[in-house]
Amino acid sequence: MVDDTPDAPPPPPGIDTTVPSVARLYDYALGGKNNYAADREAAERMLAVLPEAHLIAHANRAFLGRAVDAMCEAGIDQFLDIGAGLPAQNPVHEVARRHHPDARVVYVDNDPVVRVHAEALLADRSDVTGVLQADMRDPETVFAHPEVTARLDLSRPVGLLLVAMLHVLDDAQQPFALMRRYLDHLPAGSLVAISHAENDTHPERARFLEESYRATSASGQIRSRAEIGRFFDDMTLLEPGLVHVGDWRPRADEPYYAPEQAWILGGLGRWEGGRGAGDGSGDAR
């Protein structure tokens, strides 16, 4: 497959650009140029059936920004962004530093293209901003990595972002147990932002999105509101609860995305258990 876009970034050595990547599909949906022919073709096939995919991506991105604002207003000044994706408008470090000029952020993604671009973007603040190429399914490695331990103080609350990530894991990968494993590494008082596509509003369309994810480098499972709510079982869900991202603390100066347009739920939870409070041995239940 030939990449015919001159703006496309050169791939890191050993990367098969003929396999679509979830991070690069998201980049394309947001109007970015850090993607390859296979990503664009997969995205256009998805958009032919789900033209609202652009709206879902933008609504989700806006939710991330509002969630970071809320965390900062609650006193959080250090963040771990899991599945950060390619550079986009209002990244976590820029939003956080409007509140806390020295906010610390570590971005984590398994796509080496993300790492290359993020490292270049963040080189001037590498003392407080790090980039880690890692698998989200291995939180033990993430939390033990020097990129994290050198920048985040795990004796103080952290803002954990799992935005549009848990729906790329099917139940066979035990996502509910994974959530608990993340919590068991967080200090008490940490805040966790989650967004997740739902299958209650448009079941058939959600099924197609699920199949589209499975055609990429990731698996995928779109879940019901009740299932998504279980990710917050060990946390206190903050107002307004688990709602469509367009309805999560909306702002008059931002576009409004109705549930029918952006069928993705978001919520912010507070973790009070403290590190080591559980054994992380739960399963997908």
What CATH number does residue 140 fall under?
3.40.50.150
On whether residue 282 sits in a domain, the answer given is: no
Q: What total number of domains does the chain contain? A: 1
On whether residue 7 sits in a domain, the answer given is: no
Cα 91-97-100 angle, rounded to 5 deg: 145
On whether residue 77 sits in a domain, the answer given is: yes
pLDDT digits (tens, 9 = 90+) for 161-170: 999 999 999 9
On whether residue 123 sits in a domain, the answer given is: yes
8 Å CB contact between 188 and 158: no
- pTM as predicted: 0.88
Residue 108, classified by CB atoms within 10 Å of its CB into exposed (0-12), middle (13-18) or buried (19+), is buried
The per-residue pLDDT for 270 is 98
The per-residue pLDDT for 16 is 78
On whether residue 66 sits in a domain, the answer given is: yes
On whether residue 280 sits in a domain, the answer given is: no
Residue 73, both tokens: 């207003």
Structural domain boundaries, residue 149: 22-271
Residue 87, both tokens: 């550079």
pLDDT range class, residue 278, cuts 50, 70, 90: very low
On whether residue 12 sits in a domain, the answer given is: no
Cα 97 from Cα 118, distance rounded (Å): 17
The distance between the two most distant Cα atoms of the chain, rounded to a whole number of Å, is 52
The conformation of residue 191, written as its DSSP 8-state character, comes to: E
What's the length of the chain?
285
pLDDT range class, residue 111, cuts 50, 70, 90: confident
8 Å CB contact between 192 and 167: no
pLDDT at 151 over 70: yes
On whether residue 1 sits in a domain, the answer given is: no
